[in-house]
């Protein structure tokens, strides 16, 4: 999406208690980057991880797919610094995971069950997580745009619902932002094949996959961002105009509250 370069990616089984680890295999070297909140170095329009001076970017769609399919131990091998964008959703990753199949490894999985509210705020954007017996995400976005203004969606998330209702939702952008983003070195590989693009008066793609596809993609991004906590989180996430940066702030608060005690 951003670098415009081709990349070869493989998903490889990992032993119990490995977690999610990216492996950059270039020029006969192998450098590891763990998918943890402490390795996040950028969360503006994409999530970039860095460990031992090695970066991996645009990780959110694959992380969402892994979270949605309850995959907690895996090596992700690739020969470049950015993950493939596919069609702009998590569908390509879901297809790979389903083809390879997921197995139970027999170890007891750590799960964080939210027992008190946590929240993060930036300007007019907010996100909060409340105690709940299952994972639920409620999301409201508002763009102040004549084509797409306000969208709201709320889902109780399980694997079936994620695969059917969330994973196919594509990333999106506004035509008015394209020039400035490309000047910043972003979206070099962006096109109507991998994103929903909105002009001043219409959506340029032939069709939407859902009437509220934009907010569903925001839910997808949130799932990928929160997965960087390092284990499943059970609670009700309520987001108002949130994005990667705010999602990551909340993920850090969850880690501080439940994993960094003592």
Angle (CA) 63 239 160, round 5°: 45
DSSP characters over 169-192: PPPEEEGGGHHHHHHTT--TT--T
Angle (CA) 245 246 252, round 5°: 95
- Catalytic (active site) residue 61: no
What are the φ and ψ backbone dihedral angles of 8, each rounded to 5 degrees?
-105, 125
Burial of 104 (0-12, 13-18, 19+ CB in 10 A): exposed
Spot the catalytic one: 2, 217, 236, 244.
244
Question: Of 248, 171, 184, 185, nearest to 216 (Cα)?
Answer: 171
Structure tokens at 57: 């970017």
Let me know: does 154 contact 136? Beta carbons within 8 Å: yes
**Mind telling me the catalytic residues?**
244
């Amino acid at each position: 999406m951003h670098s415009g370069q081709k990349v070869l990616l493989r998903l490889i089984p990992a032993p119990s208690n490995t977690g999610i680890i990216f492996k950059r295999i270039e020029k006969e070297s192998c450098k590891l980057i763990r998918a943890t909140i402490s390795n996040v170095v950028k969360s503006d329009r994409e999530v970039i991880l860095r460990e031992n001076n090695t970066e991996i970017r645009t990780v959110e769609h694959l992380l969402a797919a892994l979270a949605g399919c309850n995959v907690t131990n895996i090596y992700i091998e690739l020969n470049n610094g950015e993950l493939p964008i596919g069609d702009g959703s998590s569908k390509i990753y879901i297809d790979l995971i389903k083809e390879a199949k997921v197995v139970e490894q027999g170890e007891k999985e750590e799960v964080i069950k939210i027992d008190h509210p946590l929240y993060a705020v930036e300007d007019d954007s907010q996100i909060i997580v409340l105690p709940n017996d299952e994972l639920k995400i409620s999301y409201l976005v508002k763009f102040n745009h004549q084509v797409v203004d306000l969208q709201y969606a709320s889902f109780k998330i399980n694997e079936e619902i994620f695969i059917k209702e969330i994973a196919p939702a594509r990333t999106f952008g506004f035509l008015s932002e394209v020039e400035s983003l490309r000047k910043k070195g972003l979206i070099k590989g962006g096109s109507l094949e991998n994103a929903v693009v909105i002009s001043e008066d219409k959506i340029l793609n032939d069709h939407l996959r859902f009437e509220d596809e934009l907010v569903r993609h925001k839910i997808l991004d949130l799932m990928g961002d929160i997965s960087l906590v390092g284990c499943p989180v059970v609670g009700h996430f309520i987001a108002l105009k949130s994005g990667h940066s705010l999602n990551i702030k909340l993920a850090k608060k969850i880690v501080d509250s439940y994993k960094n005690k003592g």
